[in-house]
Amino acid sequence: MSVSTSQVKELREKTGVGIMDCKAALAASEGDIDKAVDYLRKKGIATAKKRGGRATSNGQVQAYIHAGGKIGVLLEVNCETDFTGNTEDFTRFVKDMCLQIAATNPLAVDRERIPESVLAKESEIYATQAKESGKPEKVIEKIVEGKLNKFFSEACLLEQPFVKNPDVTVQDLLNDMIAKTGEKVVINRFVRFQLGETEQ
């Protein structure tokens, strides 16, 4: 099917993806903008997987101070090239991630980086709660699994709903950034300080 210039323009404005990719997405989605956005999202995930082994030695470290100097975040986001690391889109993404961390106080970037001791403690609490509420032994494991998934959606930065648009997760935003830049992009590490908190 033929794709109009106005459709391509609209999709580009929504996603920041290149013209040829927008045309391909619209053609595959029969001109439906929303379906084309989903198509590009999925493509971004595929691109992210393909780029998994590439080196990311460029990017930005950003500092963010929030709430009248009561919360501070220091964040490192990496990409493959200096060019991408200096773009407006990349800078906006890093700033949005700082804001996300300040607002939601995640424990880690992803599940793999949550300490085993924390997971063991959470699992034990959920299992005890289920037992005490009289749940049968065979369903306790499922309950613990469900509660752990909810815990991950709050504790892992990549699994959290984005504070500016809760319909998408941080992982969705990261996939979009990978699709836009055509590079591997990694949220590497962060530190969040809150006035009056003591080190654990």
- Taken in order of first residue, the domains within the chain and their CATH numbers are 5-50 (1.10.8.10), 58-110+156-194 (3.30.479.20), 115-154 (1.10.286)
> How many other C-beta atoms lie within 10 A of the C-beta of residue 171?
18
pLDDT in tens, the chain (200 residues): 577 888 888 877 776 666 777 888 888 888 888 888 788 777 765 455 555 556 667 899 999 998 789 999 999 999 988 899 999 999 999 999 999 999 999 999 999 999 999 988 998 898 888 888 888 888 888 888 889 989 999 999 999 999 999 999 999 999 999 988 888 899 999 999 998 877 65
pLDDT at 133: 81
pLDDT at 98: 96
Of 45, 46, 25, residue with least CA distance to 34? 25
DSSP 8-class letter at 158: G
Of 104, 78, 95, residue with least CA distance to 161? 104
pLDDT at 40: 76
Tokens at 67, concatenated: 């709430």
pLDDT at 9: 81
* SS3 assignment, position 72: strand
